[in-house]
């Protein structure tokens, strides 16, 4: 059975599943250098052409499935309502189509009951099912988890921007989702709106990028015990005001807004620095999350202690790490696409489980293949093996764009659409932030051989998707300063030979030359856009001297003559 899932609104994407195997999942931002979080922009003709690249067509589909929650003017939603959306599926012609609900806070809602839609307009026929948005997060996380492959039940925590943290339990054999209720009444957008009350974030547009920046920024401050208690008391007071009200999405929005307002008053600000207020806010949220889920699961003593975590908040590596380190669960799973970038996969999985299949066979490198590339003027091309690339990285010491095979799923570059560089010079982190036009406090991730990670990081466990925090061991801090964050942590990605043979070979060769089994890794993209779809885009960007793509090294003819340190000094960064 072939199932095509589509996410229409922001983070638009299309995914194809054939008999329980993911054939592809393509986010709109990864096509044609589109903007980050782009809405779906393919017509039916383009969808058919895209499928044709993989040997499929729309006519052969068994099921077309569209993610719910189309009304972006009301992001909190009401779980009892359905939605509609204007879409262009035939060129410029607009068609208003129905969609399922957001899907949360309604205890008796059957999240796995899809809605069937059928439109026939001027001979144009469109048939599809639609599942609630939250259901896509639940099943996208569960079906890709190791628990699904073992036919085990699992708790599923969904915390998205438009909802509070909501705990569910998926019963595998029964194909049933139990709604266990919210952990607390704070919407996921709090991690955008609270930092936006402080500089430097108050000077920025209030958008999704703030959450990731704030997660990095908190390393600049310190947790203040008295302030932490103020946050706790403030939250308790807001909840007390709402204790007799029915819990609805609208109430959660009000509680969130009231907490932000009361926790950022001038009287509180006068006592603490902004850095410490943001760092303490993060500590408050992290403690609230772990304490709340701990209390909740105690109410279900016979339930299997597995946890899947999905929604945009599951991109917070510190929360992920806190949940894993809490020991509340036997296993914790976060997919590499926990945000809406995984909604096309998730909504297709909703249909898949209703057809009797629970586990999805998938690979993180199932995004779009590299486009055939021209060569930008001012660049030269030559064959370059992985071994030669490793030697160049060691001897030249400059960043290189590496483009290989199919793109990664989700927002993190995992080696196939990356900029890699030696991590042995502290200036390299500043250099990479400069060429990426990023703030100075932003970290650069290490991509490391899996077998060497425990000797360098604590815990150093296998983490192929860059979703957890690891401490850099003291004897390695001076050896790899470019990947050490301000709090001496690192957002580690591990690689083995099966995960990514090309990057594994690159790191192995680099280690043989340098004694260092890792490199810096950051995404290869224009600012504010998705990953480069081809080598020509990287050359047009032109912020590095070298672009390596599937055995070809492109070198800027009039390349800048600099090392990380000399360029930093010349630009007085």
By the 10 Å C-beta count (0-12 exposed, 13-18 middle, 19+ buried), 44 is classed as middle
List, in order, residues 6 or more apart from 119 with CB less than 8 Å away.
95, 97, 125, 126, 127
List, in order, residues 6 or more apart from 400 with CB less than 8 Å away.
389, 392, 393, 419, 420, 421, 544, 546, 547, 548
pLDDT at 194: 98
| DSSP state for residue 10 in the 8-state scheme | S
**Domain 190-333 classification at class level:** alpha beta
The predicted-structure confidence for 84-128, as pLDDT tens digits, reads as follows: 777 777 766 778 888 998 887 777 788 999 999 998 877 778 899
The predicted-structure confidence for 510-566, as pLDDT tens digits, reads as follows: 999 999 999 999 999 999 999 999 999 999 999 999 999 999 999 999 877 654 444
Tokens of 452: 């060497």
By the 10 Å C-beta count (0-12 exposed, 13-18 middle, 19+ buried), 260 is classed as buried
Beta strand residue intervals within 300-356, DSSP E:
306-310, 331-333
The predicted-structure confidence for 239-248, as pLDDT tens digits, reads as follows: 999 999 999 8
Asked if the domains 190-333 and 379-571 are classified in one and the same CATH topology, the answer is no
Instruction: Break the chain into its structural domains and give their ranges.
Output: 2-144+337-354, 190-333, 379-571
Percentage, residues of the chain above pLDDT 90 = 85
Q: Cα Rg for the chain, rounded, in angstroms?
A: 24
- Which homologous superfamily is 379-571 in? Carbamoyltransferase, C-terminal domain (3.90.870.20)
Among the residue ranges 2-6, 182-186, 205-209, the one predicted with the least confidence is 205-209
Mean pLDDT across 18-33:
97
Region of residue 55 (phi > 0: left; psi between -120 and 50: alpha; otherwise: beta): left
- The CATH T-level fold of domain 2-144+337-354 is Nucleotidyltransferase; domain 5 (3.30.420)
Q: How far is CA 297 from CA 56, 292, 549, in A?
A: 44, 9, 48
Mean pLDDT across 299-303:
96
């Amino acid at each position: 059975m072939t199932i095509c899932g589509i996410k229409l609104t922001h983070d638009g994407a299309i995914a194809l599943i054939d008999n329980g195997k993911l054939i592809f999942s393509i986010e709109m931002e990864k096509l044609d250098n589109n903007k980050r979080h782009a809405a779906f922009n393919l017509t039916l003709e383009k969808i058919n052409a895209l499928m044709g690249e993989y040997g499929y067509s729309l006519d052969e589909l068994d099921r077309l499935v569209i993610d719910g929650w189309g009304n972006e003017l009301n992001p909190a939603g009401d779980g009892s309502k359905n939605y509609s959306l204007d879409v262009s599926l035939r060129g410029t012609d607009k068609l208003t189509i129905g969609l399922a609900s957001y899907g949360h806070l309604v205890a008796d809602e059957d999240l796995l009951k899809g809605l069937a839609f059928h439109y026939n307009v001027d001979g144009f026929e469109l048939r599809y099912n639609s599942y609630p948005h939250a259901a896509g997060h639940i099943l996208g996380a569960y079906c890709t988890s190791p628990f699904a492959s073992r036919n085990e039940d699992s708790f599923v925590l969904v915390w998205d921007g438009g909802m509070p943290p909501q705990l569910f339990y998926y019963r595998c054999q029964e194909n049933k989702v139990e709604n266990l209720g919210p952990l607390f009444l704070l919407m996921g957008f709090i991690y955008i709106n609270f930092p936006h009350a402080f500089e430097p974030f108050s000077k920025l547009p209030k958008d999704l990028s703030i959450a990731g920046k704030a997660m990095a920024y908190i390393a600049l401050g310190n947790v203040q015990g008295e302030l932490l208690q103020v946050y706790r008391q403030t939250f308790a007071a807001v909840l007390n005001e709402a204790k007799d009200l029915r819990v609805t999405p609208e109430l959660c929005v009000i509680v969130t807004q009231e907490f932000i307002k009361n926790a950022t008053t001038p009287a509180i600000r006068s006592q603490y620095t902004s850095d410490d207020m943001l760092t303490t806010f993060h500590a408050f949220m992290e403690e609230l999350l772990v304490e709340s889920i701990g209390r909740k699961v105690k109410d279900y003593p016979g339930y299997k202690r597995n946890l899947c975590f999905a929604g945009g908040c599951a991109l917070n590596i510190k929360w992920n790490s806190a949940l894993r380190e809490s020991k509340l669960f036997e296993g914790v799973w976060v997919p590499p696409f926990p945000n809406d970038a995984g909604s096309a996969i998730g909504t297709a999985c909703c249909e898949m489980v209703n057809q009797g299949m629970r586990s999805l066979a998938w690979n993180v490198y199932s995004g779009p293949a590299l486009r055939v590339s021209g060569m930008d003027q001012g660049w030269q091309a030559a064959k370059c093996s992985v071994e030669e690339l490793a030697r160049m990285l060691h001897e030249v010491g400059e960043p290189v764009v590496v483009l290989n095979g199919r793109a990664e799923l989700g927002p993190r570059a995992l080696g196939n659409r990356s900029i890699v560089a030696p991590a042995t010079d502290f200036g390299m982190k500043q250099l990479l932030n400069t060429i990426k036009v990023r703030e100075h406090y932003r970290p650069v991730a290490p991509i490391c051989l899996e077998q060497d990670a425990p000797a360098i990081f604590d815990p150093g466990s296998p983490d192929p998707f860059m979703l957890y925090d690891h401490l850099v061991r003291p004897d390695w801090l001076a050896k790899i300063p470019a990947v050490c964050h301000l709090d001496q942590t690192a957002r580690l990605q591990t690689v083995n030979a099966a995960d990514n043979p090309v990057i594994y070979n690159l790191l192995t060769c680099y280690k043989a030359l340098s004694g260092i089994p890792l490199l810096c890794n950051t995404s290869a993209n224009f600012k504010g856009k998705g990953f480069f779809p081809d080598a020509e885009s990287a050359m047009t960007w032109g912020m590095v001297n070298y672009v390596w793509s599937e055995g070809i090294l492109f070198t800027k003819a009039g390349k800048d003559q600099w090392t990380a340190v000399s360029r930093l000094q010349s630009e007085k960064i």
